């Protein structure tokens, strides 16, 4: 029998859910801005007045849609305990967009002769185009999510995203935390105590909120006293920034520039489809039976609209729906989050908060999420495939090292290119690291997938996967010899770069042949008697 009264909008846990979801999104926006402005010298006005409004608009639309879906499910079932699916910016791919796509593209535009403002606008248009491409891919794949899950091993899918989480949204933010260790490490400790050790907080406050308040208190009390040294920066004046996320066609001007980054852009979209399927199953297990296609379509359309309106980071349904349900949240927390984050991009208070709050205050939640994603990769994968998950981390580690090595203050791009000619002891270490890191998401999927096939005693399937890797490496989808990770035809490269391409493609092909030969030997070998 269905309830005759309208289901509640707010439950006892909606305030906690709202605070946690807002801080999650705020942390990601802060890292996006800090990376672009602090690391790459990106113009702040383009980040805050062009990128932020459209990006947060996607969060607003997605959360409003998920709120409505929760209300509809509550009316259909007559239940009063339905919890909305949480939605926000995806941490691994948002950080990946900043460090691997937008930042390097901005430097490339400047090297081509554009001034700082023009390079920033061109990069913004590229980011819009990348988001539209991801949105279209997710829209199409939302109808084929089951096929993707059947043909790509879970170790490959979860291992690749765990690699991003571990090195990009775990290690790099940890470095930011330890730049101001008295503030950051204290906040991180509280997050781990509350969310990993399940310790109780005073007055039953959310652990994320307590960590946030503690870090802010330490920063603004110890900083003016000089105890934080150069790690403290006086707060900037509050600025009025108003920008409407109006849809337009400027993204079309960035499509051409986005093409070389497809080896990163397309896997970003693919991972979110699989993640959406997993979180829907998680919500179903917790008692809220959402239709998987609806969850994926809403998320794809939110990403598309964000791209049309100037956004550069994609949204995703968050994995923690059962946790929000356990704390008593219903549909109010997603409604409030969408409004606060969405309007924050329009009226500018979100950008002011990003400027007021150092990354050492906000980064602990990113480290916790990174730990959770990495742990999930092992928990959700059968134990016998653990080696495949670990093996898939290496390309991501190479990419993280490359990010540091190609920084102009360390090693110039010209120096890296010159090292392709240094073959006195095989390929140079720097060249290998750079090439291994390019296209690392797809590389991680291929490495994990072929190892899973070997573990399953299917060497010929592993050989086919390796041959796919050989083909992708020939055109730079993986192991690109261009620092930007761009794609190409091998015969258009110079001799030194072409040599590296053939070496990597040949390695995949040689191993594929070895595995085929081993498969025949295995078939002809007598069975062992245990």
DSSP letters spanning 79-136: -S---PPPEEE-HHHHHHIIIIIIHHHHHHHHHTT--HHHHHHHHHHHHHHHHHHHHH
pLDDT at position 523 is: 62
CB 251 within 8 A of CB 130: no
Mean pLDDT of 490-518: 91
Residue 262 CB neighbours (<10 A)? 17
Q: How confident is the model at residue 426 (pLDDT cuts 50, 70, 90)?
A: low
Q: How far apart are CA 386 and CA 398, in angstroms?
A: 20
For residue 153, the SS3 value is coil
| 72-121 pLDDT per residue, tens | 999 998 888 899 999 999 888 898 899 889 998 999 899 889 999 999 99
pLDDT at position 438 is: 87
Phi-psi region of 204 (alpha: psi -120 to 50; beta: other; left: phi over 0): left
For residue 412, the SS3 value is coil
Q: How far apart are CA 90 and CA 276, in angstroms?
A: 11
Q: How confident is the model at residue 149 (pLDDT cuts 50, 70, 90)?
A: low
Q: Classify each residue of 55-80 as buried b or exposed e, where b means 16 or more C-beta atoms within 10 Å of its C-beta.
A: bbbbbbbbbbbbbebbbebbeebeee
Residue 202 has pLDDT above 70, yes or no: yes
pLDDT at position 411 is: 47
Q: How far apart are CA 477 and CA 233, in angstroms?
A: 42
| 399-421 pLDDT per residue, tens | 888 877 665 444 455 555 566 66
pLDDT at position 407 is: 55
Going from N- to C-terminal start, the domains of the chain cover 18-230+250-381, 388-519
Residue 43 has pLDDT above 80, yes or no: yes
Q: What is the mean pLDDT of the chain?
A: 85
pLDDT at position 251 is: 95
Length of the chain: 530
Q: How far apart are CA 448 and CA 512, in angstroms?
A: 15
| 260-316 pLDDT per residue, tens | 888 889 888 887 887 788 788 778 877 888 988 899 999 999 999 999 999 999 999
CB 301 within 8 A of CB 320: no
pLDDT at position 496 is: 80
DSSP state of 315: E
pLDDT at position 64 is: 96
pLDDT at position 530 is: 39
pLDDT at position 315 is: 93
CB 29 within 8 A of CB 286: no
pLDDT at position 410 is: 44
Residue 322 has pLDDT above 80, yes or no: no
If one compares 102 and 234, the residue with the highest pLDDT of the two is 102
pLDDT at position 8 is: 74
């Amino acid at each position: 029998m269905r309830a005759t009264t309208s289901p509640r909008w707010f439950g006892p846990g909606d305030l906690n859910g709202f605070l946690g979801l807002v801080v999650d999104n705020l942390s990601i926006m802060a890292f996006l801005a800090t990376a672009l402005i602090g690391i790459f010298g990106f113009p702040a006005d383009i980040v805050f007045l062009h990128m932020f409004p459209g990006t947060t608009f996607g969060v607003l639309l997605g959360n409003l849609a998920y709120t409505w879906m929760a209300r509809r499910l509550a009316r259909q079932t007559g239940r009063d305990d339905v919890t909305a699916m949480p939605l926000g910016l995806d941490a691994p791919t948002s950080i990946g967009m900043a460090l691997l796509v937008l930042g390097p593209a901005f430097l490339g535009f400047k090297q081509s002769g554009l001034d700082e403002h023009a390079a920033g606008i061109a990069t913004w248009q590229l980011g819009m185009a990348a988001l539209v491409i991801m949105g279209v891919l997710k829209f199409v794949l939302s109808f084929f999510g089951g096929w993707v899950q059947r043909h790509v091993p879970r170790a490959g899918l979860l291992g690749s995203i765990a690699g991003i989480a571990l090195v990009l949204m775990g290690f790099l933010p940890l470095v930011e935390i330890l730049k101001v260790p008295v503030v950051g490490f204290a906040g991180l400790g509280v997050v781990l105590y509350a969310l990993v050790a399940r310790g109780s907080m005073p007055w039953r406050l959310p652990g994320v909120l307590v960590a946030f308040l503690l870090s802010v208190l330490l920063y603004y009390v110890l900083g003016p006293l000089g105890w934080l040294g150069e790690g403290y920066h006086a707060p900037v004046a509050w600025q009025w920034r108003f920008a409407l996320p109006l849809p337009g066609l400027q993204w079309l001007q960035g499509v051409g520039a986005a093409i070389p980054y497809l080896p990163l852009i397309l896997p970003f979209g693919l991972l979110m489809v699989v993640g959406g399927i997993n979180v829907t199953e998680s919500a179903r297990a917790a008692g809220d039976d959402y239709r998987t296609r609806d969850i994926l379509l809403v998320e794809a359309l939110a990403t598309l609209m964000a791209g049309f309106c100037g956004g550069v980071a994609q949204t995703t349904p968050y994995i923690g729906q059962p946790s929000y349900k356990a704390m008593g949240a219903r549909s109010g927390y997603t409604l409030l989050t969408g409004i606060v984050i969405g309007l924050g991009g329009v009226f500018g208070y979100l950008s002011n908060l990003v400027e007021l709050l150092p990354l050492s205050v906000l980064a602990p939640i990113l480290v916790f999420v990174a730990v959770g994603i990495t742990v999930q990769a092992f928990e959700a994968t059968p134990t016998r495939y653990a080696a495949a998950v670990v093996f898939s981390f290496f390309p991501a580690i190479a990419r993280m090292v490359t990010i540091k090595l190609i920084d102009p203050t360390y090693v110039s791009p010209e120096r890296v290119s010159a090292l392709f000619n240094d073959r006195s002891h095989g390929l140079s270490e720097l060249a290998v690291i750079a090439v291994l890191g390019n296209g690392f998401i797809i590389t991680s999927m291929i490495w994990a997938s072929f190892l899973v096939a070997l573990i399953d005693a299917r060497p010929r399937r592993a050989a086919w996967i390796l041959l796919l890797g050989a083909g992708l490496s020939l055109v730079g989808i993986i192991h690109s010899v261009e620092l930007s990770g761009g794609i190409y035809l091998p015969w258009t490269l110079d001799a030194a770069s072409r040599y590296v391409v053939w070496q990597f493609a040949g390695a995949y092909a040689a191993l594929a042949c070895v595995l085929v030969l081993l498969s025949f030997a295995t078939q002809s070998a007598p069975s062992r008697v245990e």
